[in-house]
Structure 1
Amino acid sequence: MINNIKLKRKEVLKLTQNENYKIIPYEEKYLKDAAAIWNEVVEEQNSFPQNVPFTETEADEFFKSQTRTACLFEDGKMVGIYILHPKNAGNCGHIANCSYGLTKSARGKGLGRLLVEDSITEGQKAGFRGIQFNAVVSTNYAAIKLYQRLGFKILATVPGGYKNPDGTYTDTYIMFKELI
C-alpha cells in the first residue's frame, strides 16, 4: 500500500505539470457536464449527503451560489468539479466547506488531489482561515487518505452520521485543515 501511495505522488507531480489538465471556474456553458458529474456522485449514495439529483436549473443555481465552483478538464473533457463556500454564516463564516466529484472513469488517477489542492489555494485567496468537512463517510477510504496526506485532521466521529440506501448507518468524520 505504501508503494502505491509513493507512486501516486509521483503521478500527481506529473499531472500538475501536464497541460492536459485544467481547472477553471464554473460557467453556465459547463452546466450539462457539471450537473451530470454532481448527480453521478449523488446517485451512488455513498459520499454526498444529498440523495436526490439536481435538475439542470437547480444545479446551475447551486453552482452559481458558491464562493467558487470549479471544473476539472482532462484533454478538453470535464471530469471533475468542486464547490467551495462558507460552512456557516456571520461570525463562523471564515471557515470553508467543500465537496468534490469526479466521473467514475477519472477516479484512481490522482485527479482528486488536483481538485482538493486547488480548493485549498482558492480558499486561502478568498480569506478563509480553514476548511472543514462536516460529513466524510468513514468508508470513503480514498478520500480520507487523500485529505490526511494534504494535512486534514479527523476532529470527531459522528456515530451513524450517514444513512445508507439499505437503511443501515455508517459513521462520518468531521475533518479540518487550517489555512493560515
Structure 2
Amino acid sequence: MGIRAATEADWPAIWPFWRDIVEAGETYAYPLGATSDQARGWWFDGSRVTVLEEDGSVLGSAKMGPNRPGRGAHVGTASFMVAATARGRGVGRRLAEDMVAWHREQGFAGIQFNAVVETNTGAVRLWQDLGFTIVGTVPGAFESTRHGRVGLHVMYLDLG
C-alpha cells in the first residue's frame, strides 16, 4: 500500500466511496444527493489531497490543510474517506499518520477536527490513539441516519 498526492484523475476512483459514505448519513455533514462535480469541488478545494492505493486500486483518500484562513492558518485540519471494502485493513491509520507527518513538516502548531461524529467510535478511537483529545462536544449537532441527533466532537492534537 502506498500513499501519494491525488490528482483530478483519481476522482472516478474516489467518488463511489465518497458518495456511499456521505449518503449513509453517519459520519459527514456534506449535503445528501450531491453530484459528482459538487463533491469533487468540495474534496479538491485547494487542500492537499492524498490517496492510498494498492495494486492500482484507490482504497482511501484524505484532504488536509489549514483549519481557518489568516490568523488561524497555523492550525491544520483534515478529512478522510476509506472504501468499505478496505475498512479494517489500516488504511485510515496510514492516511492519518501521513497527514500528521505532513502537518508537522509544514510547521503547523496543531491539528483540529471540527466535527467528529461521536457515534463514529472507530474514528474517535483512532484519533485518540494518535494523541488527539476531545476538547468539547456540541450536543445534537449531527443528524445521524441510525441514531438521530448526536454530538459532534471537536478534537485537537498539539504538534508543539
Report which of the two has the higher share of helix: 1
1:127 aligned onto 2:113: no
Counterpart residue type for residue 50 of structure 1: Y
Q: 2:61 aligns with which of 63, 69, 81?
A: 81
Q: Report the CA distance shift for 1:166/1:73 in structure 2 as closer, same or farther (over 3 A).
A: closer
Residues of 1 paired with 2:139 and 2:43: CA distance?
A: 30
Match of 2:46 among 49, 58, 66: 66
**Cα distance, 1:143 vs structure 2:** 0.7
**Distance change >3 Å, CA 58–CA 49, structure 1 → 2:** same
Give distance in 2, aligned partners of 1:125 and 1:71.
19
What residue number does 1:10 align with?
none
2:8 to 3, 28, 32: 28
- What corresponds to 2:155 in structure 1? 175
Q: Residue 39 of structure 1 corresponds to which residue in structure 2?
A: 19
Task: Let me know the Cα RMSD of the aligned residues.
Answer: 1.7
Provide the rounded CA distance (Å) in 2 between the counterparts of 1:103 and 1:167.
Answer: 22
Offset at residue 82 of structure 1 (A): 0.6
- Shift in Å at residue 25 of structure 1? 0.6
Alpha-carbon distance, 1:65 to partner:
2.2
Structure 1, unpaired ranges of 5+: 1-20
Q: Provide closer, same or farther for how the CA distance between residues 91 and 140 of structure 1 changes in structure 2, counting only shifts above 3 A.
A: same
Provide closer, same or farther for how the CA distance between residues 134 and 103 of structure 1 changes in structure 2, counting only shifts above 3 A: same
Q: How do residues 141-180 of structure 1 correspond to structure 2 at under 5 angstroms?
A: 141-165=121-145, 168-180=148-160
User: What TM-score, normalized to structure 2?
Assistant: 0.91
Figure out how many residues of one structure are paired with residues of the other and give that number. 160
Consecutive unaligned residues of structure 2, counting only runs of 5 or more, are none
Match of residue 109 from structure 1: 89
Aligned-pair identity in percent equals 32
Measured in 2, the distance between the counterparts of 1:114 and 1:166 equals 28
Checking the alignment, whether the CA contact within 8 Å between 2:64 and 2:77 is kept in structure 1 is: yes
Tell me whether 40-49 or 159-168 shows the greater mean CA deviation: 159-168
Q: Please report how far the alpha carbon of residue 166 of structure 1 lies from its aligned counterpart in structure 2 after TM superposition.
A: 6.5
- Structure exhibiting the larger radius of gyration computed from Cα positions: 1
